[in-house]
């Protein structure tokens, strides 16, 4: 898959209103679960917060791909 193919695919995914609504709902559910976790359920709270962060990262990645940001640098191993 070429970089241009990736850009077009990311743009088409982001243009689907259902995609945005679904991911908004998933993120909100993870945030609510984090907030409403029992006060002594530290692992559960951490898991829900990690889920919310992962959802945000997926969306950020798609936005970056759709804007044709150079993603090759993020794929390289640190020197």
How far is it, in rounded angstroms, from Cα 54 to Cα 37? 18
Cα angle: 77, vertex 46, 76; to 5 degrees = 5
Q: What is the pLDDT of residue 68?
A: 75
Query: Does residue 77 surpass a pLDDT of 70?
Result: no
Closest residue by Cα to residue 46 from 30, 70, 58, 59 = 30
Q: Are 48 and 27 in contact (CB under 8 A)?
A: no
Token readout for 79 is 């020197």
**Domain residue spans in the chain?**
3-67
Quick: pLDDT tens for 8-49. Answer: 999 999 999 999 999 999 999 999 999 999 999 999 999 999
Q: Is 77 exposed, middle or buried (0-12, 13-18, 19+ CB in 10 A)?
A: exposed
Q: Which residue has the higher pLDDT, 72 or 54?
A: 54
Q: What pLDDT, on a 0 to 100 scale, did the predictor assign at position 1?
A: 84
Position 74 pLDDT exceeds 70: no
């Amino acid at each position: 898959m070429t970089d241009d193919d990736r850009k077009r695919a990311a743009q088409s995914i982001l243009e689907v209103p259902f995609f945005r609504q679904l991911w908004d709902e998933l993120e909100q559910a993870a945030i609510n679960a984090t907030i409403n976790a029992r006060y002594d359920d530290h692992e559960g709270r951490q898991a829900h917060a990690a889920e919310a962060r992962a959802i945000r990262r997926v969306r950020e990645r798609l936005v970056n791909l759709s804007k044709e940001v150079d993603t090759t640098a993020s794929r390289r191993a640190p020197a």
